[in-house]
Amino acid sequence: MGKYNVPALERAINILDLISKSKEKFTVTEICNELDLPKATVFTTMSTLEYYNMVQKDKAGRFQIGPKMFQIGMTYASDHSIIELARPYMRKLMEKTGFTVHLGILHENHIMYIAKEEPDQFIKFSTYPGLKAEVHLTGLGKAIAAYLSEEELNHIFDEVGMKEATPNTITNYKRFKESLEDVRKNGYAIEDEEGEIGVRCIAAPLINARYVTPTAVSITAHSSQLTKDQFEEIGDLVRSTAEEISRNI
């Protein structure tokens, strides 16, 4: 924490962070319990955030992220040059494969999705720009982790851990690091129903000395659409897309 932190602002940020990470809405009481804050403090903070449209409240008194936060996020996205540079290549990959394409970065020891291109089809995924996920549960995370230093990897998993999301999740740190050797060998990472049953991802890192934020591109598909015999073919497409984006940033 910095020397000149403002406690009231810090509380507001923590509240917004809590709400943004959940699909559920929160009451004032639930926010108090989650963050161990006095009810009067949370009430006044939420009233201020609501006034400025940072949060919005439904008829049951439950809060969710408001339109002002969305506006701020979209401003960030539009100004974030790598997103606009990557979009044509993401669309091309989506059209070639018929799968949903994501762009993600390493942010606060998690993977944060920053862009999405989705085909017009029945199967949809509930991912969105700003969503965060654990590194070991995503193809994007594996692709990025393969090119981090030992010190960086240790820090991430010391802080976040390796929870089990499905029976396929790799929860052993040594085994996870060993799996990254295949990523470096093939140029792409495979996430095979490790974050969610029925969902597979293939991702490749963007490697460019001028762009220092660890970034990767991926395709996401239902396991019935993306079979194991397609891994190599689709993996090569994802890797070549990552290389194209890297050359142009």
Residue of 76, 68, 115 lying closest to 241 (CA atoms) = 115
CA distance 113 to 130: 5
Local confidence pLDDT in tens for the 249 residues of the chain? 556 678 899 999 999 989 887 778 999 999 999 999 999 999 999 999 999 889 988 888 999 888 777 667 655 554 457 888 899 999 999 999 999 999 999 988 999 899 999 998 777 888 888 888 999 999 999 999 999 989 999 999 999 999 999 999 999 999 999 999 999 999 999 999 999 999 999 999 998 755 567 899 999 999 999 999 999 999 999 999 999 999 887
Residue of 133, 93, 81, 122 lying closest to 218 (CA atoms) = 93
Domain locations along the chain: 7-66, 80-247
Q: Which CATH entry fits the domain spanning 80-247: 3.30.450.40, 3.30.460.20, 3.40.50.2020, 3.40.718.10? A: 3.30.450.40
Domain spanning 7-66, CATH architecture: Orthogonal Bundle (1.10)
User: Model-level pTM?
Assistant: 0.71
**Can 7-66 and 80-247 be said to share one CATH topology?**
no
